[in-house]
Structure 1
Amino acid sequence: MAEILPLRAWRYNDSLNESIDQLTSPLFDVVSQKQREALYRNPTNSIHLSVPRGEAPAKDAARLLQVWKENGVLLQDGLPGLYVYYQYFRLPGNEKEYVRKGFICNIKAYDWHEKVLLRHENTIPSAVNDRIELLEETELNTSPTHGLYSDAGFILEPYMDESIRTPIYETEDYQGVRDVLAVIHDHEIIRLFLDTLSDKQILLADGHHRYEGSLAYRRKMTALNPNHTGYEPYNYHLMYLTNAEHDDLRILPTHRLLQHLPMSEEEFMERLQEYFTIIPKEDPFELNEVIVGKLWAFGLYLNGNAYKLRLKPEVHASIDWNFPDEVKQLDLTVMHYFIFEKILGIYRQQQRDYKGLSYERNFTACIQKVDKGEAQLALITNEVSMDQVKRVCNSGAVMPQKSTFFYPKVICGFLFSSIKEDEFTTATSACF
């Protein structure tokens, strides 16, 4: 099923005066404006390729990339390889050190109908368009998306464990996560990785917008190429693959913030009572705790007042969205159907790109933004489980946008993958 390939990555020149932690950057959708400004001040930071700015950001990024190649800021590795990537991290209130193990490779950008790569959530159209334009101009994958495969026998982990003992990079990122990168060049071991993935489906965990960008680019280039074979560089996408059977895979919740209610607060609270049991809470900073493990339960923070909301079970069957039960059972489906559509009148298709709706992973930040007047209300939700992700993917349906937050996030800047003809062909077919 899944066709993966090694690559000759473009990486920062080791002779640069800056260390790798000064050159890496967070993914474009998880970094605050203040963090971005600090990164932009460094003229060689990877953010200039991954999140370019200006009047023509994609074209500027392409010009900068060429300058970096010509001046030796970036160099292409001499041998194709699979890049092993481990992330060591801790979670609040837990002494355990987790480690998420995986490897970075090129994977064919499969269309959804091919059922090789499965998505689990909707995307925001404007964000996809930005990614398409950047890929067209630079012909560069600036950061890997995150995919999951299932291997209960853990066939590949011993080879990754051995490789990570001699790292290329080891640094601590903006999340406080220790990131370690190594590479496997051995032809026979690479072949084992390729063969192991050849009968697997891939669940797309993170990076739906970047993946859809690659998919749209592949469709466009296929239509323009009368001699299309399926092996041209534009067919491939950069992905970080991890084993979904590993215990250290973590998904954190993504909360919702609404800038303005389209009705009075009194009317909103009155309409909530039609669908939810509402329990006032004294301390808003306990909202994430009082809903833990409870089905269809949410925290609401509005105008300094905190409430626990729980859907009245008898109204759940009234959901008339054309979704399978796997999706209807999700907390976020309940939230988006009853609160956003039925109560606020923001219909499902509008929700994907609704200007007043934003997403926040940090629970404390939600409370603070409401207190500062940056949002009128916050809706606090539970995390989505890995089992729920698998069931939704296998159903062929998708969750509401921004349903999952796989933690930790992959960082940008360790390596880049070119889909230029001369740079890609050398990396793959010449050896495999």
Structure 2
Amino acid sequence: MPSMANPELPVPDGLVLRPFRGIRFTVDDLAGVTSPPYDLIDEAGVRELLDTHPNNVVRLILPGSDHHRYAEARTTLHEWLSSGVLAADDRPALYVYEQSGPGILQRGLIGDVGLAGPEAGIILPHEDVMPGPVADRLALMSTTEANLEPIFLLYDGAGGAASGLVDRIAASRPPLAETATSDGLRHRLWAVTDAGELASIDADLRPRQALIADGHHRYATYLALQREHRSATAAGPDATGVPAGSGTSPAEGAGGSAEPGPWDLGLALLVDSTAYPPNLKAIHRVVPGLPPEEALTKARGSWRVQEHADLAEGLAALEQTTGPAYLLSGGGMTHLLSDPDPDQLEHAMPPGRSAGWRALNTSVLAEFLLPKVWGTDDDERSVRIVHHDPEAAVRLARACGGTAVLLRPLAVEDVLAVAAQGERVPRKSTSFGPKPRTGLVLRLLSPLPEPGGEASAPPSGEPAP
């Protein structure tokens, strides 16, 4: 992460969400051109989305598979802008975004969030990031000069002006865009352009603090892009390598500036977690090549093991547990691991961690069950990840001759407590939802070309250079 003590990096004076000129699809079938976040789409999902609509946003967020894929995404983006498949809104705006469905209602604001490292205490991460996904998103964002999907931030709005305005707009104004997606959710979008309303939102948000609920790798990419851009600008206009038309003036170089440039901000959805408590779901593991029988044999020396007839019965038993517990399955019978041997557990957990961190089921999994009991590290090479769906995890385990390790979701308050102490939960510990739908509104980091070759004002609303 870049250090916010670096004088070349501007430090926001609080939680800042700036209006920008959103880039939106002009097609009638909005559901057909949107997608889930990139990291929730597998190869089959990509094919399904492309079959749904030729202009699905997955062509931008998960382009191709060879080394030309990032350039391919840039070309596609420019083609869609030139042909009118995508178009910029006339005025910079914050966007009220509502997701609703059976048992679900979430409203928030989409805008340009001012970037700050974790030490600034403005935007708190709760997960570490892996270098591979950051490098991938960095290449995509720098090549396309765009933020193609928002990260998801939570904050304690405490009944403030921003939350009140969001609800009034959603209840009283016709939406700018509306669609229903195959997952059963209805999505509505409103543009907030009134200067008084924008000022009220800004004043309410400044003293607050946000938690990254989803998008840690993209936020790390935002910070990396900011650092690269500021360093290049400080080196001089002939040595920058800064994308042409980035919308940043020479005055925004070394020494920081009061007026942020496009690369000092990142696309984000900001939701008041007091008004709209998030839905926190579990992320399950599959250990390929570890048959359930072997997993159980190795676990019996340090865990209480209970047998259950099927997946439904086992999941019900898992739900009733307290403390670290896991349901193992490879199909057929399931087995509940609970009540680990306290001495072995204490010896396995790393020193210097808070009691809250040590009690997380994902911490015990990553530090004790996987490496000490099964001899497997919880990394991308050794362990597969399955979001939310225990049946999908069991199917994957059966296909790869392994064991599905099913978890209870963490509690929101436990995640917040860990993040507030500057700690990180183990990788893939949380899945907050509902996540923003990708493709409803995009953000460009460079000016839009006008007919005749003139550049318009930067889409993010900053003054043109």
TM over 0.5: same fold? yes
Shift of 1:6: 0.6
Q: Say what the alpha-carbon RMSD is for the aligned residues.
A: 2.1
Contact 2:292 2:403 in 1 (8 A): no
Point out the more displaced range, 200-209 or 323-332: 323-332
Q: Is the 8 A contact 1:233 1:424 kept in 2?
A: no
Please give the residue correspondences for 1:131-146 in structure 2 after superposition, counting only pairs within 5 Å: 131-146=137-152
Which amino acid in 1 is paired with 2:327?
A: G
Matched with 2:127 is: 121
* Unaligned stretches of 5+ residues in structure 2: 1-13, 235-252, 448-454
Residue number among 7, 26, 31 corresponding to 2:41 in the alignment: 31
Code of the residue aligned with 2:379 in structure 1: it is R
Q: 2:10 maps to what in 1?
A: none
Indicate the larger mover: 227-236 or 389-398.
227-236
8 Å Cα contact 1:257-1:375 kept in structure 2: no
Query: 1:67-112 deviations in whole A, cap 9, x for unaligned?
Result: 111222211111111100111133xxxxxx3311101010122222
The one-letter amino acid of 1:19's match is D
Note the C-alpha offset of 1:271: 2.5
In structure 1, the residue matched to 2:407 is: 381
Instruction: Report the alpha carbon displacement of residue 387 of structure 1 after superposing the two structures with TM.
Output: 0.4
Moved over 6 A (4+): none
Match of 1:50 in 2: 61
Q: Distance in 1 between matches of 2:313 and 2:225?
A: 45
Q: Decide whether aligned partners of structure 1 residues 356 and 403 sit closer, same or farther in structure 2, where only a CA change above 3 A counts.
A: closer
Q: Equivalents in 2 of 1:303, 1:81: separation in Å?
A: 51
Whether 2:286 is the aligned partner of 1:274: answer: no
1:207 is displaced (CA, Å) by 0.9
Answering whether residue 365 of structure 2 is matched by residue 335 of structure 1, we say: yes
221-230 vs 324-333, which moves further: 221-230
Pairs within 5 Å for 1:259-338: 259-261=288-290, 267-293=294-320, 294-302=322-330, 304-312=332-340, 314-315=342-343, 316-321=345-350, 322-338=352-368
- Partners of 1:353 and 1:370 in 2: CA distance: 16
Instruction: Summarize the Cα distance change of 1:128–1:375 in structure 2 as closer, same or farther, 3 Å threshold.
Output: farther
Q: Give 1:344's match in structure 2, choosing from 363, 374, 380.
A: 374
Separation in structure 2 between the aligned mates of residue 202 and residue 328 of structure 1, nearest angstrom: 24
- Measure the CA separation in 2 of the matches of 1:222 and 1:275: 52
Relative distance call for 1:289 and 1:65 in structure 2 (3 A) is: same
Q: 1:6 aligns with which of 19, 26, 31?
A: 19
2:78 to 53, 56, 66: 66
Report whether the alignment pairs 1:79 with 2:105.
Answer: no
Q: Which amino acid aligns with 2:163?
A: E
Aligned partner of 2:287 among 240, 258, 279: 258
Cα 1:342–1:156 change in 2 (3 A) is same
Aligned length: 416
Per-residue deviation, 1:211: 1.2
Q: Give SS of 1:148's match.
A: strand
Q: 1:352, CA displacement in angstroms?
A: 3.4
Change (3 A) 1:83 1:277: same
- Relative to structure 1, the CA distance from residue 134 to residue 101 in structure 2 (aligned partners, 3 Å threshold; closer, same or farther) is same
Find the aligned partners of 2:228 and 2:108 in 1 and give their Cα distance: 31
Aligned to 2:192: 184
CA–CA distance in structure 1, aligned partners of residues 401 and 78 of structure 2: 42
Counterpart of 1:33, as a letter, is: E
> TM-score normalised to the size of structure 1?
0.90
Residue 287 of structure 1 contacts residue 308 of structure 1 at CA under 8 Å; is this kept in 2? yes
Change (3 A) 1:159 1:104: same
Task: Determine the C-alpha separation between the residues in 2 that align with 1:202 and 1:390.
Answer: 10
CA distance in 1, matches of 2:107, 2:443: 20
CA 1:129/1:423 → structure 2, altered by over 3 Å: closer, same or farther?
Answer: farther
**Distance (whole Å) between structure 2 residues aligned to residue 282 and residue 424 of structure 1:** 64
Q: Aligned-pair distance for 1:313?
A: 5.7
**C-alpha displacement of 1:259:** 1.3
Is 1:106 equivalent to 2:134 in the alignment? no
Equivalent residues of 2:328, 2:337 under 8 A apart: yes
Structure-1 residue corresponding to 2:263: 234
